[in-house]
Structure 1
Amino acid sequence: MIRVMLVDDHALVRMGFRMLLADAQVEVVAEADSGEQACAEYPRAKPDVVILDISMPGMGGLEAVRRLLAQDPKARVLVLSAHEDTAHPRRVLRAGALGYLTKRSAPDALIAAVTAVAANKAYVDPQTAQALAMAQVRGETSPAEALSEREFSVFVQLARGLSVAQIAENLKLSPSTVGTHLYHVKQKLGTANQSELTLVALNWGLIEGNPGSQPR
């Protein structure tokens, strides 16, 4: 039986996944509602697979992937996302996640993804894989591709409406370091303020909904 940890900030979402996985003989051994809690619970739970939502309050999913892999380089992480851009899957897989699945995928795709990742095999849902392939063929790149990994994390959190102080707390950085990253982000993206950064993020599908709210 595959043992998983569910990481999502919505209890109802976790309940739905738990019921779906139970039907496939997959055991949920731990749950967490944030990346911070997931990192704290992981050593105790020792799951075969971490199923992790990329859009959560706090450090968020991308940072959680990095920290989980820093804790355990052999950690097997499957990221779930409501985003349909190509920047997030690129970043997530580059950070060390084995799988990436959009929440629009059919329920049986979740089982297939968990099974593959548990076997230490990469899994990307067909829709995302096609988007990545076509973007490469057409030479399409998001402006965010010019950003470093840390700059990207700062950019996304700022675009969601978080303050420099909140981002510093979430990413365990000093406010001055966040300010430096923010300066470089603005320079690279040709933006002057937070509103313009948010517009760039919305236009490229990097965030959803209203600034200051967590996208689903």
Structure 2
Amino acid sequence: MRIVSGKLKGRRINPPKNLPVRPTTDMAKEALFNILNHHFNFSELTILDLFAGTGNISYEFASRGTESIVSVDGDYGCVNFIKKTAKEFDLNILPFKSDVFKFIEKHKSSYDIVFADPPYDFTQEQFEKIVTDVLSLNLISEEGMLIVEHSKFTKLEHLEHFSFEKSYGGSVFTFFEFATEDDDDEYDDEDDLEDETYDTEED
């Protein structure tokens, strides 16, 4: 796993092999950030990374200059690895150990981008709950964006505030916005490779 752009471009991240994760592939990650690069100034963003796993997506935002990143995962090993890596690279990432659904219910802040990468074997209902909870509880700002990564077998385009989706290998990114554009051409990218207890603890 490597950081694909920004000040840490090319740096490899080597998480422990026993973490219960499925990191976003470098190909999909690079294509995702090519889309976001056309829409956001990374240095001004606030980010909430749900089901953060190894911190893969959080590191990409931090490498591009984002200084307000909250990473949430329910696994102690993942949270500790994110803390260790953020300290090593001097990145402003705040990790939380929490059940993600409980975190969403209790959290009061809003963000420019909420990225959620649940286990692909979540049920359709669990995926839909992530979307409806994040949007109904206003975890994204009026001009913000929710991005959910999932497999091609999960369908989310029927949900309210759906904007568009992109596929890369076996991964699909579905985008939700309160204020959608009339024309999604601005999101097209020539590099897209289609088909391919609120028990929060800050140890």
Q: What's the TM-score, normalizing by structure 2? A: 0.41
Question: Which structure has more helix as a fraction of its residues?
Answer: 1
Does 1 or 2 have the higher relative contact order (CA < 8 Å, sep 6+)? 2
Whose Rg is larger?
1
